[in-house]
Amino acid sequence: MNFIDHIRIECRSGKGGKGSAHLRREKYMPKGGPDGGDGGRGGDIIVRGNAQLWTLLHLRYTKHVIAEEGAMGTSNQSSGLSAKDQYIELPLGTVVKDNETGEVICEVIADGEEHIILKGGRGGLGNQHFKTATNQTPRFAQPGEPGQIKWMVMELKVLADVGLVGFPNAGKSTLLSVVSAAKPKIADYAFTTLTPNLGIVSYHDHRSFVMADIPGIIEGAHEGKGLGLRFLRHIERNSVLLFLIPADSADIKKEYAILLNELKQYSPELLDKERVLAISKCDMLDAEMMKQMKKDLPKGVAHVMISSVAQFGLDELKDKLWHHLHGRFPADRVA
């Protein structure tokens, strides 16, 4: 699969260069004293955001990232060269964690944003720093500091304005394919979508927003059932959650409650996000049936009746999503 959202890499920052223990010896200065320079700094391991990347696929076969060592100091108080830093390019929305402790080292959310995840060792001091009144010719210098070695985990959490949340086969991929140019796999069976798909949804007056089709959630997903924890994390980075429940569902309120509970069990903070409920496949209903169904929908959440196949209610859906994203309707859409 071309969508890779979890990578583990061993990172090694560079060792600092050794200081020089050189003693100055010239034709007219046979006892010139210490003039050893300092060692150079070892290379850092740095992660950098790259808006042109969408997955961690380019790192799939990268198991080790190793920075160079700093150069040794030389005579005439000349410091050694610092080593080049090693950069790891990451898509926006990537979280970097310490593999052993699980501690979050940094999050990359902006293009060009840089974070040093492992600092290189400092260079050792040359013998010029150790000259004293009682030891005017020190014949020793500091070694460079060792670099750091850590296994790092890099997890991609898809950045999108709107995240589609629903059970398998609820019509999420069909909706994304209709409102955007995305071409997700669509079939009449559960778990057709195995990786998140992103689409740019065009809106009025050249506006647009990003919609993400998240693989289907099932009851118990927060415990790892189905696709479970692997894709629940992608919902964290979406500004608005669009719950999609088909009109032929046996109990819309129950399905909505199950979806909410799975998000709550995974991360209670997800319940603070803006929510919109879309009832899909409404081409199967007539006006009277839709009117009756609206009375039984969950309270406290904006809802809209849609049909991706018949392209019914999609303009109203876009209006509601835009309103929840920006807290207002565009001026040209206000009645």
Instruction: Encode pLDDT of 295-308 as tens digits.
Output: 888 888 888 898 88
pLDDT value of residue 217:
67
pLDDT value of residue 126:
93
pLDDT bin (cut points 50, 70, 90) of residue 20 is very high
Residue with tokens 């309120």: 253
pLDDT averaged over the chain?
83
The fraction of the chain above a pLDDT of 90, given in percent, is 31
Q: What integer is the mean pLDDT of 75-95?
A: 92
More confident residue, 4 or 121: 121
pLDDT value of residue 218:
57
Residue with tokens 């583990």: 8
> Which pTM does this prediction carry?
0.68
Q: What integer is the mean pLDDT of 46-72?
A: 91
Q: What integer is the mean pLDDT of 18-46?
A: 88
Q: What integer is the mean pLDDT of 57-86?
A: 92
- Could you give phi then psi for residue 304, rounded to 5 degrees? -150, 140
Name the CATH superfamily for 160-333.
P-loop containing nucleotide triphosphate hydrolases (3.40.50.300)
pLDDT value of residue 222:
44
Name the DSSP letter for residue 248. T
With a cut of 80, say whether residue 93 has pLDDT above it. yes
pLDDT value of residue 335:
40
pLDDT value of residue 252:
87
Q: What integer is the mean pLDDT of 131-154?
A: 92
pLDDT value of residue 71:
94
pLDDT bin (cut points 50, 70, 90) of residue 334 is very low
Best-predicted range by mean pLDDT among 61-65, 232-236, 244-248, 330-334?
61-65
Beta bridge partner(s), residue 118? 45
Q: What integer is the mean pLDDT of 318-324?
A: 88
**Total residue length of the chain:** 335
Residue with tokens 């415990």: 223
Q: What integer is the mean pLDDT of 1-27?
A: 86
- Could you give phi then psi for residue 212, rounded to 5 degrees? -115, 130
Q: Return the H-helix or E-strand segment holding 151.
A: strand 149-156
pLDDT value of residue 192:
45
State which fold the 1-156 domain adopts. Spo0b-associated Gtp-binding Protein; Chain: A, (2.70.210)
Q: What integer is the mean pLDDT of 61-69?
A: 94
pLDDT value of residue 247:
85
Lowest mean pLDDT among 66-80, 286-300, 312-326: 286-300
pLDDT value of residue 209:
84
pLDDT value of residue 220:
53
Q: What integer is the mean pLDDT of 134-161?
A: 89
Q: How is the chain split into domains, by residue range?
A: 1-156, 160-333
**CA angle, corner 330, sides to 325 and 334, nearest 5?**
120
pLDDT bin (cut points 50, 70, 90) of residue 2 is low
Q: Strands 149-156, 160-165: parallel, antiparallel or unpaired by DSSP?
A: unpaired
Residue with tokens 């310490």: 98
With a cut of 60, say whether residue 331 has pLDDT above it. no
Same fold, 1-156 and 160-333: no
pLDDT value of residue 65:
96
> Of 131, 11, 120, 127, whose CA–CA distance to 71 is shortest?
120
Instruction: Encode pLDDT of 180-237 as tens digits.
Output: 865 654 444 344 445 677 788 888 777 888 888 877 665 554 444 445 455 666 777 7
